[in-house]
Amino acid sequence: MDRPGPLASESADAVAGPTEAVPPNPIQYARQGRIGVITVDYPPVNAVGHGVRSGLVAALDAGLADDGADALLLVCAGRTFMAGADIREFGKPSAPPTLPEVVARLDAATKPVIAAIHGTALGGGLEVALACHLRVALTSAKLGLPEVKLGLLPGAGGTQRLPRLVGAAKALDMILSGDPVGAEEALALGLVDAVEDGTSPLEAGLRAAERLLADGSRPQPVSARTDRIAGTDPALFTAKRAELAKRQPHLFSPHRIVDAVEAAVILPFGEGTARERELFLACMDSPQRAGLIHAFFAEREVAKVPGLPAGTPTRDIRKVGVIGAGTMGGGIAMCFANAGIPVVLVDSTQDGLERGVAAIRRNYDSTFRKGRLTAAQLDERMALIHPTLSYDELADADLVVEAAFESMEVKQAIFQTLDRTCKPGAILATNTSTLDVDAIAAATGRPQDVLGMHFFSPANVMRLLEVVRGTRTSDTVLATAMGLARRIGKVGVAVGVCYGFVGNRILHQRGRESMALVEEGASPEQVDRVLTEFGFPLGHFSMTDLAGIDVGWRIREERRKAGDPEAQSPNWLDTLAERGRYGQKTSAGVYRYEPGSRTPIPDPEVAAVIEEDRLRRGIVPRPVSDGEVRERCLYVMVNEASKILEEGIAARPVDIDAIWLHGYGFPSWHGGLLFWANREGLGKIAEAVQRYHRDIGGPQWRPSALLLQCAAEGRALGC
């Protein structure tokens, strides 16, 4: 290199950036032969924050002024190309140069600028590449505009340049889904000009630049192209708007994305860019943006468990055992196989084992038919799952997850066997959703190696994993399970031991309140409608039908037998279960279902069962307002969540937010249960909780001391 040197530090110091720490030299400029190389080095993901933006402008100026450079190459150090604007800067005043300014400078550069892409070119990162004159990607690269997932739209020309390269229809699909495309697809679409394999981004970029110089041509800036957008049918936008109104009625930014891409088609580039800016700023100001960005960071924050130092030693997990080949066990086995980890799947009967393996194959077959799995991948995954009746085959497993029948007796017997069979140091996990992990651990001679790994159904789909730390679980075992969660693509959240842990304990209170509302006069349809209007994908009773009414019925039966006073009197759901109305699987539950359909239809038979139940209890139904349904269903959850924090079962509000986001479909644009609660107003919630405690009573309305305290002090929960 002829003239290496850091560039951004001078300009970064001159302008006070909004981020807390600007690295000393995120941008380097150096020349290699006739190519001026601009290298972005801002770990971990080269986010385009203020230091990077000002450094890019300075490096571009240096390259344009460098007489020895005939072309400029933009390349990134580390694991990835720029992964987007620096999200941590959002909501703070933005210091110049802004990203649109940087992008405009690149677009207008008097020398050709080539972007060499590896890892992920996302959001503002891809927008920088789109403003370059040529793009070359490594085969493994992924390119996308995921702003919609943060409640935004691409705000640095992405909605204007992408359609000019790939056409308006594909651009809309990419920007509305936020999902990246691979390098080969990007090449086919015209998003990149070349794909290279088995080399570094620097080498691939230098080769592309040399080719360009040898060729002597000067690629047209994307902003000047119109060939791919000319003749776009306006019906495309009408159809998209109609589709969004149906599929994503709550979301703000998707509708603005359609407006922005339409602007690319109907307005000249400069005016389209101005329209994009307006729409971007409207999204930036929307409360949904703040909620979705909280959700983004929540997913990452939960991996850092308070009190568990970074660098805590972990154990190698190379082989896993799963006990129980039922729906849950099969799904859990798939999670490991999907991550390439061999699984020994144990069941107590040959019949159970065969049914379990057949269900796993059906599941993979359906993914294969949808084109999301190749035949080779399907075979590989099936080959990783070894079914057996013998516990002896678990002798060399590094971790075993028990997913057997929900009974303490059954589980303790299994853990005694595992303790005898498994090698020293093997981690023994239970997938119990209600039972005491400490009591299960006590059945072994190694309680430090026992913990809960609570998967959510369907286990191969749902991203949440509650990692339940028993009283005696060691740090190493907890850290191993948290690391494993990430490895298998789950959001692992560490929680303590209590009935239902965090997620189901809160769900239980919402369920209890939903039932009470129906007993008092609301209909199941009303309760569900209020919850779906809030943004839940399913209302409480639709979810009950999906999970199966018999599940709760059997748990209540167990609790009745155990003498639990709360479970003594059967409710109308028990009556439905006694009549064989188990939910979707029997085409009848709280609702009825046409064969093959999942659409709930209100059923007069259920209304009659509810009415009989009210009569039996001497309840005269009253009109219940939607506002009351909303308050009682949601505030009771907040009150319980606050008690969970008080008790230390969850360490931080963000843990509860992540649990409800990833396990129960809490609407992500609200940020999470407690992020939403803080916005709703803790004072208002505390007042209502006290009122319901006075008027309705019951342990669920006993106000959480923490909630009252935060409300009185005007603090957010967790601050």
Shorter beta-carbon distance to ligand 3HC: residue 99 or 400: 99
Is 612 catalytic? The answer is no
Q: Which of 23, 36, 124, 653 binds ligand 3HC (CB under 6 A)?
A: 124
Query: Three-class SS of residue 407?
Result: coil
Q: Please give the Cα distance from 536 to 514 (Å, whole number).
A: 14
Under the binding rule (CB under 6 A), the answer on residue 154 touching ligand 3HC is yes
Q: Which of 107, 147, 419, 613 binds ligand 3HC (CB under 6 A)?
A: 147
Pairing outcome for strands 142-144 and 134-138: unpaired
The answer to whether 230 and 219 have CB atoms below 8 angstroms apart is: no
Under the binding rule (CB under 6 A), the answer on residue 522 touching ligand 3HC is no
Under the binding rule (CB under 6 A), the answer on residue 44 touching ligand 3HC is yes
Q: Please give the Cα distance from 347 to 344 (Å, whole number).
A: 10
User: 289-319: b or e for each residue (b if 16 or more CB lie within 10 Å)?
Assistant: bbbbbbbbebbeebbebeebeeebebbebeb
Q: Please give the Cα distance from 161 to 130 (Å, whole number).
A: 7
Pairing outcome for strands 181-182 and 427-430: unpaired
Query: Three-class SS of residue 31?
Result: strand
| Piece of the chain touching ligand 3HC by CB under 6 A; list 41-49, 268-276, 324-332, 645-653 | 41-49
Residues 601-620 that bind ligand 3HC (CB under 6 A): none
Q: Which of 64, 77, 87, 696 binds ligand 3HC (CB under 6 A)?
A: 87
Smallest gap from Cβ 152 to ligand 3HC, in A, equals 6
Query: Which of 412, 449, 383, 423 has the alpha carbon at shortest distance from 323?
Result: 412
Give me 298's structure tokens: 């929540």
Q: Which of 6, 155, 329, 672 binds ligand 3HC (CB under 6 A)?
A: 155
Shorter beta-carbon distance to ligand 3HC: residue 303 or 408: 303
Tell me how far CA of residue 2 lies from CA of 31, 65, 77, 186, 402, in angstroms. 5, 15, 19, 33, 61
Smallest gap from Cβ 299 to ligand 3HC, in A, equals 8
Q: Which residue among 147, 276, 513, 631 is the active-site one?
A: 147
> Which amino acid belongs to residue 672?
G
Shorter beta-carbon distance to ligand 3HC: residue 43 or 648: 43
The answer to whether 112 and 212 have CB atoms below 8 angstroms apart is: yes
Residues 297-336 that bind ligand 3HC (CB under 6 A): 300
Smallest gap from Cβ 125 to ligand 3HC, in A, equals 7
**How many other C-beta atoms lie within 10 A of the C-beta of residue 405?**
12
Shorter beta-carbon distance to ligand 3HC: residue 158 or 663: 158
* Greatest extent of the chain over all pairs of C-alpha atoms, in Å: 92
| Piece of the chain touching ligand 3HC by CB under 6 A; list 43-51, 263-271, 326-334, 699-707 | 43-51
**In 422-496, which ranges are continuous DSSP H helix?**
437-441, 475-487
Shorter beta-carbon distance to ligand 3HC: residue 79 or 318: 79
Q: Please give the Cα distance from 520 to 474 (Å, whole number).
A: 47
Smallest gap from Cβ 281 to ligand 3HC, in A, equals 11
Q: Which residue among 89, 127, 262, 525 is the active-site one?
A: 127
Shorter beta-carbon distance to ligand 3HC: residue 487 or 512: 487
Q: Which of 7, 37, 47, 343 binds ligand 3HC (CB under 6 A)?
A: 47
The answer to whether 454 and 466 have CB atoms below 8 angstroms apart is: yes
Query: Which of 59, 42, 44, 50 has the alpha carbon at shortest distance from 4?
Result: 59
Q: Which of 45, 401, 507, 682 binds ligand 3HC (CB under 6 A)?
A: 45
The count of residues interacting with ligand 3HC (CB under 6 A) is 24
The residues with which 525 forms a beta bridge, in sequence order, are none
Under the binding rule (CB under 6 A), the answer on residue 122 touching ligand 3HC is yes
Q: Which of 62, 83, 103, 464 binds ligand 3HC (CB under 6 A)?
A: 83
Q: Which of 7, 50, 86, 172 binds ligand 3HC (CB under 6 A)?
A: 86
Q: Please give the Cα distance from 670 to 93 (Å, whole number).
A: 23
Query: Torsion over CA of 396, 401, 407 and 408, rounded to 10 degrees?
Result: 70
Is 519 catalytic? The answer is no
Under the binding rule (CB under 6 A), the answer on residue 492 touching ligand 3HC is no
Q: Please give the Cα distance from 44 to 51 (Å, whole number).
A: 14
Shorter beta-carbon distance to ligand 3HC: residue 171 or 344: 171
Shorter beta-carbon distance to ligand 3HC: residue 293 or 477: 293
The answer to whether 145 and 166 have CB atoms below 8 angstroms apart is: no
| Piece of the chain touching ligand 3HC by CB under 6 A; list 83-91, 500-508, 658-666, 698-706 | 83-91
Query: Which of 657, 552, 34 has the alpha carbon at shortest distance from 294?
Result: 657
**Site residues (CB under 6 A) for ligand 3HC?**
44-45, 47, 83-88, 99, 120, 122-124, 127, 146-147, 150, 152, 154-156, 158, 300
> Active-site residue numbers?
127, 147
